[in-house]
Structure 1
Amino acid sequence: MILDWQSTLDLIMTISSETGSNQLSLNKEAISDDFFKLSTRIAGGILQKFINYQ
């Protein structure tokens, strides 16, 4: 589950190293509800990780 920046980075690196893919599709259920609350700033941090690590 995507809970914070670190779990996102772990997921990105695992998928990249195991599959060689740089694309990811997630169900809404795999993302913490806090992601959708902009005041937590989690969405911005997570999206920045996706941008930085392609």
Structure 2
Amino acid sequence: MAHEVAGALTRDGVLDAAVVGRAVALGRWDAQRLKQVWHCVARFGSPPRPA
């Protein structure tokens, strides 16, 4: 689901806390699962942005 959200809401496919927040606001994905994704982003961080 994280890949799906990142692909749908970003141009570069990088998932960060702001993207997760937008996904929650849209209501297209299960909020509980997005909370789990957010916890992973908060714990492990976002990958570096492509140059």
TM-score, structure 1 length as denominator? 0.32
Greater radius of gyration (CA): 1
Greater RCO structure (CA 8 Å; 6+ sep): 1
